[in-house]
Structure 1
Amino acid sequence: MPPALRHATATVLAPLAAVGAAHIVPAATWLPVVRRRLPRLAGLGDPAHVALTFDDGPDPESTPRFLDALDALGVRATFFVLGDGVVRHPAVVRETFRRGHELAVHGWSHDRPWRPAPADDVRSLLRAAGAVLEATGRRPRWYRPPYGILTGGRWAAARTAGLRPVLWSVWGRDWTARATPASVRTAVTAGLHGGETVLLHDTDRMSAPGSWRATLEALPGMVDDCRTAGLSIGPLAEHAVRGV
């Protein structure tokens, strides 16, 4: 390739590579790296507290059962809801808020970011945050992207929408057909330390059919394990998320 053409090609490809890296690299940071390098993003907070979070709702069949169970346990949580579900089931969202839980944004729909789409990212997050605000009268604070894939575009969109990105540091692996109450409880509490943010699901919308039942049955044991360890449990708003 002639030097002039090589230079011109490099000039064109360099910005494209930068755009691709900005889109892909944040998504490649996963739990071990996030916990160590970005504790705020992993949701590490008050060492005497555990943040309890649920993704993918609202679900008119399963979410109310979680609300009843949490009431019985005297626990409040953060629910990361999908905007398209909020507009279909606003009464479930209002009831979740009425019972003292925190509503956060999980996106408009549970899609994967196959290619950079910064304008679409902004529009969808603004729309989802607006749906939560309309249903509850309170502006949401947190954003957790579907699949935990936080691209550069979604990070920027969250900032534009006034949302703070947060992932999780412990999960129940409760989305599979093989999940049982015992497996969910063990996944969450084995080696659990204060300051963790726990990811669970209050619906099977994006999970194996009926998988939410294992999570629901595991809740009392998980809460008991936390309290036995001297840890309080509640929403992200009470978690004092630390780090940069």
Structure 2
Amino acid sequence: MVSARPVAALAGAAGAVGAVAAGAVAAWHVGPAATWLPGARAVLWPGLDGRGDPSHVALTFDDGPDPDTTPRFLRALDDLDVRATFFVLGSRLADHPGLGRLIAAEGHELAVHGWRHDRPWRPRPRLDAREVARAAELVAGAAGRWPLWYRPPYGILTGGRWAAARSAGLRTVLWSAWGRDWTASATAYSVHAEVTRTLRGGGTVLLHDSDMVSAPGAWRAALGALPGLVAECRGRGLRVGRLDDHGLIE
């Protein structure tokens, strides 16, 4: 007869090992999400913060392309003689490939914002890798070159998404200033005030050219703020342009 005591001990040991392994996976998954905190990111990961040439500001837009709103931003940027970086969603680009080609044809840069705008509640590294690569391939088809940058939806970086970006040959870049332009209460004035509150030379600005995951009509606040933001930067002697021209630090 086999004693139950050794069997129970083995089961307990196996359970402990499993718990440690599960904890390690969880830490690998959620650990990078700490980079979402702007203060910590600025100090510990300045490259991830979008820090670049101190005489330049990188202007970036998330969540498009949107056939109703993105063309309005393209017209405004053309009027201002500014080129920007558009972090697009693969699922949106698949629906509107011509708009992606237009963004690139007008001298703007296309980058990867993932396949869809979802939150990474649980580890899914294989799916992350497939979706980021798939989005990058669509961006390359629209732009005529492989993209350089990746920004995860909501700015929430996980171990799986970081690895997926690296596997696709993309560098992850978040931001150092944003306009909180996704809220129902956002106005051109509030977006301008929020961006300039933390804007410095070498910074990367986050705005949105679509209200797909924002309050309906919120895009108007970002669009309305653009002329003033560009004028503010130029008044400080700062050039405004794409991430590709930003000289990001490592």
Residue 10 in 1 paired to residue 13 in 2? no
Aligned counterpart, 2:79: 72
Distance in 2, Cα, partners of 1:191 & 1:98: 31
CA distance in 2, matches of 1:8, 1:86: 47
Call closer, same or farther: CA 1:154–1:191 in 2, change over 3 Å.
Answer: closer
1:70-149 equivalent positions in 2, closer than 5 A: 70-149=77-156
CA contact (8 A) 2:177 2:198 kept: no
Distance 1:77 1:130 in 2: 20
Contact 2:188 2:221 in 1 (8 A): yes
Of all paired residues, the percent bearing the same amino acid is 60
Cα distance, 1:136 vs. partner? 2.2
Asked if residue 26 in structure 1 is aligned to residue 56 in structure 2, the reply is no
1:39 aligns with 2:46: yes
Rate the CA distance shift 1:103–1:192 in 2: closer, same or farther, 3 A.
Answer: same
Q: Any runs of at least 4 consecutive aligned residues in structure 1 with deviations exceeding 4 A, and if so which?
A: 1-6
Corresponding position of 1:177: 184
The match for 2:196 is 189
Q: How many residues in Structure 1 have an aligned counterpart in Structure 2?
A: 243
Residue identity matched to 1:189: T
What amino acid is the match of 2:204? T
Letter in 2 for 1:21: A
2:111–2:147 CA contact under 8 A, matched in 1: yes
For structure 1, which segment, 20-29 or 79-88, has the greater mean C-alpha deviation from structure 2 after superposition?
Answer: 20-29
Matched AA of 2:112: V
Q: Per-residue displacement from partner, 1:41-94 (whole Å, max 9, x unpaired)? A: 111111111100000000011101100100110100000000011111111111
Q: 2:177 touches 2:204 (CA, 8 Å); kept in 1?
A: yes
State the TM-score, normalizing by the size of structure 2.
0.94
Other-structure match for 1:212: 219
How is 1:52-63 mapped onto 2 (pairs within 5 angstroms)? 52-63=59-70
Bigger Rg over Cα: 2
Which consecutive residues of structure 2, in runs of 5 or more, have no partner in the other structure? Answer: none
Normalised to the residue count of structure 1, the TM-score between the two structures is 0.96
SS for the counterpart of 1:223 is helix
Aligned position for 1:224 = 231
Residue 9 of structure 1 aligns with an amino acid whose one-letter code is: G
What secondary structure, in the 3-state scheme, does the structure 1 residue paired with 2:61 have? strand
- In structure 2, what is the equivalent of residue 153 of structure 1? 160
Q: CA RMSD in A?
A: 1.3
Cα deviation code 1:202-232 (max 9, x no counterpart) = 0101100111011111100000000001111
